[in-house]
Amino acid sequence: QAQAQAQAQPQQTTERTKVCSQCRSNFTRDQFSNRQWKAQSNYRSCRLCSEYTKISEDKSRKCRDCKLNLPRTDYAIYQWSKGDEARCFSCAQKLGQKVLSSISNLGHTDTIDSTKERPDGTVVCGPHSQECCDICMMDFTLPNDFQRKKNELGRDLTPEEYDQVTKKSMAMAGVRINKKICIMDGQPMCPRNSKKLRCPCNEVTYCSTACQKYHWTIHKMTCKFHSKKKEKELEKKLKKQAKAAAAAQAQLKSAADDLTEEQKNFARKEAFFAENNGGKHSIEECAWQLGEHPFVIGGGSIKYNTNTVPMSEEFVKGDVAKIYREKLGVEW
């Protein structure tokens, strides 16, 4: 009977791939976010299409050089974010080959890795004398901005001044770093792998070790700065939290000190009765609020005075040292 029921029930198969509703490509599970994988087929988008959509809702765009209206998958992410100035893969590759051929015709003897230092202390690439060179894959804009600010002030910069120069430099450069997409997306060495590698400075992401090695000539100028900045921010946050906790404790202690002994006894009685009537953690909470040991309340008692009309109640505090000695066998 069990075998018959098993044969009658249709076998449930888990889908290994799904189709993206935008690029119409069939991808595996790791190319979708959890939300998109569970979405309906008409609204499902792969990771790459989701990032394109965050930049712009357009499905196509005219290339700056060839003037052809091409789909967005023909553009690298960083090119797509340039808007009307975007170049497709083909035009970007042609431009790079054109520049390289022009450099070889000029007969430069400098190597691509060489740099030159100007009299004012700023640095440029050796072959082209450029601060930001796409061919040499070098960008000295930020360190040069630091050097110019030092020359202007005639001294080293403070951490606050470093932050100001960095923010100004990034704003003027129009940098848009998408941490979910490889920084080398669109380059020949980039495999567009789904598994991402995040740099410890938490500023850039790579999809392979080849992309990381190729981009290191640029990123090494700011990686150390961002790493130190993250450490300082974390240290500052922890100090702020510790200061807030100390202030809250001091405020709580001062509030308890403002109470009279009669008011404290009233609070102790309320916690004592609540705990004995089935309440949980009433004594511990009250003792914490008053800044005293829970045995002061839990080991105490209620003394009734029948000689007064109406009958009065008096709370007798517990002896913590006696309770420890008699009940626990240790000295308090």
Separation CA 48–CA 188 (nearest Å): 17
* Cβ-proximal residues to 123 (8 Å cutoff; 6+ apart), any chain: 115, 116, 117, 131, 140, 143, 144
Residue position matching structure tokens 């380059």: 187
Confidence of residue 107 (pLDDT cuts 50, 70, 90): very low
Q: Residue 100's pLDDT band (boundaries 50, 70, 90)?
A: low
State the Cα–Cα distance between residues 303 and 314, nearest whole angstrom: 5
CA distance 260 to 290: 11
Determine contact, residues 33/50, Cβ cutoff 8 Å.
yes
Nearest Cα neighbor of 292 from 329, 262, 247, 253 is: 253
Distance CA 227, CA 217 (A): 17
pLDDT on residue 177 = 61
The neighbouring-strand residues paired with 198 are 205
Give residue 323's identity as a one-letter amino acid code: I
At residue 319, does pLDDT exceed 80?
yes
pTM over 0.75: no
Per-residue burial over 179-202, b if 16 or more Cβ lie within 10 Å, else e, is: eebbbbbbbeebeeeeeeeebebe
Mean pLDDT check: name the lowest of 103-117, 270-284, 298-312.
Answer: 103-117
Question: Is the separation of the CB atoms in 264 and 291 below 8 Å?
Answer: no
Q: What is the pLDDT of residue 112?
A: 43
Output the CA–CA distances (angstroms, integers) from residue 109 to 102, 105, 140, 149, 241, in the order listed: 14, 11, 21, 32, 57
**Nearest residue to 77 (alpha-carbon basis) of 94, 107, 45, 55:** 55
Q: What are the pLDDT digits (tens) for 198-253?
A: 888 877 888 888 888 888 877 877 787 777 777 888 888 899 998 888 887 777 66
- Interatomic CA distance for residues 46 and 27, integer angstroms: 8
92: Cα separation from own chain's centroid: 32
In angstroms, the CA 290 to CA 317 distance is 13
Residue 252 one-letter amino acid: L
d(CA 212, CA 82): 23
- Would you place residue 27 in the very low, low, confident or very high pLDDT band (cuts 50, 70, 90)? confident
Contact (CB, 8 A) for 181 and 244: no
Query: What is the end-to-end Cα distance of the chain in Å, rounded?
Result: 70
Backbone angle region of 329, left / alpha / beta, with phi > 0 → left and psi within -120 to 50 → alpha: left
CB 18, CB 32: distance < 8 Å? yes
Q: pLDDT band for position 2 (50/70/90)?
A: low
